[in-house]
A and B are shown apart, each in its own frame.
Chain A
Amino acid sequence: MMKKHRNLLNYSFDCLRRYRMRTAVILITFLIATTMISAVLFTKDGLEREAELSVDSSPDLTIQYIKAGRAEPISTAYIDDIAKVEGVERVLKRTWGYAGIGDKTYVVIGLDPTGLDYSRGVITSLESGRFLTPEDDGTGNVVVGKLIAGMLKVKVGDDMILLSESVDANKFHVVGVFSDESSIYTADMIVMCLSDANDFFKMPEGMVTDLCVYVEPDQIPNNVAAKMTSMPNVRILDQDLLLRGYRAAYGARGGIFTTLWTILLVAIALIAFSQAIVVGHESKFEVGLLKTFGFSTLDIIEVRLVESAVLGFFASSLGMVIGFVYAAYFNAPALVDILLGWAFLPKEFHLPVLVSATSVFSIYAVTVVPLLITTVVPAWLNAITDPELAMRRAAA
Chain B
Amino acid sequence: MIEVRNLTKIFNRGKFNETVAVSDISLKIKDKSIVALTGPSGCGKTTLLSMMSLILTPTSGEILYDGDNLLSGSDNFKTNFRRMNFGFIFQHINLLPQYTTIENILLPLYAFDAEPKEYEERAYSWLKKLGIYDRATHLVEQLSGGEQQRAAFVRALIREPKYIFADEPTVFVDEETSRIIYRIFMELREAGKTIVLSTHDPELIKVADEVYKIKRGSLA
Contact between chains at B79 and A1 (CB < 8 Å): no
A8, CB-defined interface residue at 8 Å: yes
Chain B 144-195 residues near chain A, CB threshold 8 A: none
Contact between chains at A386 and B56 (CB < 8 Å): yes
A292, CB-defined interface residue at 8 Å: yes
Interface-central residue, B55, B75, B88, B116, by most chain A CB under 10 Å: B55
Contact between chains at B96 and A289 (CB < 8 Å): yes
Known contacts A294-B108, A295-B79, A296-B76; A4/B113 CB under 8 A: yes
Residue of B nearest to A391 (CB): B94
Rounded to whole Å, the gap between the CB of B160 and the closest CB of chain A is 14
Chain A residues whose CB sits within 8 angstroms of the CB of B86 once the complex forms = 294
Known contacts A7-B116, A18-B98, A384-B75; A295/B57 CB under 8 A: no
Interface-central residue, A2, A7, A8, A14, by most chain B CB under 10 Å: A7
Among A18, A296, A384, A388, which residue has its beta carbon within 8 angstroms of that of B55? A388
Chain A residues whose CB sits within 8 angstroms of the CB of B57 once the complex forms = 386
Q: How many A-B residue pairs have CB under 8 A?
A: 75
Chain A residues whose CB sits within 8 angstroms of the CB of B111 once the complex forms = 4, 7, 290, 293-296, 299
Known contacts A18-B98, A293-B83; A395/B110 CB under 8 A: no
Contact between chains at B107 and A293 (CB < 8 Å): yes
Bound Cα distance from A10 to B111, whole angstroms: 11
Chain A 358-396 residues near chain B, CB threshold 8 A: 384, 386-389, 391, 395
Interface string of B86-119 (1 = CB under 8 A from A): 1010001010101100010001111111111000
A146, CB-defined interface residue at 8 Å: no
Rounded to whole Å, the gap between the CB of B52 and the closest CB of chain A is 11
Known contacts A7-B116, A384-B75, A391-B94; A295/B110 CB under 8 A: yes
Known contacts A4-B112, A297-B75, A299-B111; A292/B56 CB under 8 A: no
Chain A residues whose CB sits within 8 angstroms of the CB of B125 once the complex forms = none
Bound Cα distance from A290 to B112, whole angstroms: 12
Residue of B nearest to A17 (CB): B98
Bound Cα distance from A18 to B86, whole angstroms: 27
Rounded to whole Å, the gap between the CB of B71 and the closest CB of chain A is 12
Contact between chains at B84 and A294 (CB < 8 Å): yes
Bound Cα distance from A286 to B82, whole angstroms: 17
A interface, size bucket: 20 to 34
Bound Cα distance from A63 to B80, whole angstroms: 77
A3, CB-defined interface residue at 8 Å: yes
B50, CB-defined interface residue at 8 Å: yes
Bound Cα distance from A18 to B112, whole angstroms: 22
Bound Cα distance from A92 to B115, whole angstroms: 79
Chain A residues whose CB sits within 8 angstroms of the CB of B94 once the complex forms = 285, 289, 391
Bound Cα distance from A4 to B75, whole angstroms: 19
Contact between chains at A7 and B99 (CB < 8 Å): no
Bound Cα distance from A293 to B75, whole angstroms: 13
Chain A residues whose CB sits within 8 angstroms of the CB of B76 once the complex forms = 296-297
Contact between chains at A3 and B114 (CB < 8 Å): yes
Residue of B nearest to A19 (CB): B98
Rounded to whole Å, the gap between the CB of B78 and the closest CB of chain A is 10
A326, CB-defined interface residue at 8 Å: no
Rounded to whole Å, the gap between the CB of B24 and the closest CB of chain A is 20
Interface string of B109-135 (1 = CB under 8 A from A): 111111110000000000000000000
Rounded to whole Å, the gap between the CB of A373 and the closest CB of chain B is 22
Contact between chains at A387 and B55 (CB < 8 Å): yes
Chain B residues whose CB sits within 8 angstroms of the CB of A290 once the complex forms = 107, 111
Bound Cα distance from A14 to B115, whole angstroms: 16
Rounded to whole Å, the gap between the CB of A301 and the closest CB of chain B is 13
Chain B residues whose CB sits within 8 angstroms of the CB of A98 once the complex forms = none
A11, CB-defined interface residue at 8 Å: yes
Rounded to whole Å, the gap between the CB of B189 and the closest CB of chain A is 23
Chain B residues whose CB sits within 8 angstroms of the CB of A387 once the complex forms = 55-56
Chain A residues whose CB sits within 8 angstroms of the CB of B98 once the complex forms = 18
Known contacts A18-B98, A297-B76, A391-B94; A292/B110 CB under 8 A: no
Residue of A nearest to B47 (CB): A388
Residue of A nearest to B84 (CB): A294
Bound Cα distance from A291 to B57, whole angstroms: 13
Rounded to whole Å, the gap between the CB of A279 and the closest CB of chain B is 12
Bound Cα distance from A290 to B99, whole angstroms: 14
Contact between chains at A291 and B110 (CB < 8 Å): no
Bound Cα distance from A290 to B55, whole angstroms: 11
Rounded to whole Å, the gap between the CB of B119 and the closest CB of chain A is 12
Known contacts A291-B79, A292-B82, A292-B88; A7/B56 CB under 8 A: no
Rounded to whole Å, the gap between the CB of B118 and the closest CB of chain A is 10
Interface string of A11-42 (1 = CB under 8 A from B): 10010001000000000000000000000000
Contacts A/B (CB < 8 Å), 20 sampled: A3-B115, A4-B113, A4-B114, A7-B110, A7-B112, A11-B110, A14-B103, A286-B96, A289-B96, A294-B79, A294-B80, A294-B83, A294-B108, A294-B111, A295-B79, A297-B79, A299-B111, A384-B75, A386-B55, A386-B56
- A2-B113, A294-B84 are known; give 7 further A-B pairs, CB within 8 A: A10-B110, A290-B111, A293-B88, A293-B108, A294-B82, A294-B108, A388-B50
Show the binding face of B for A, using Cβ within 8 Å. Answer: 50, 55-57, 75-76, 79-80, 82-84, 86, 88, 92, 94, 96, 98-99, 103, 107-116
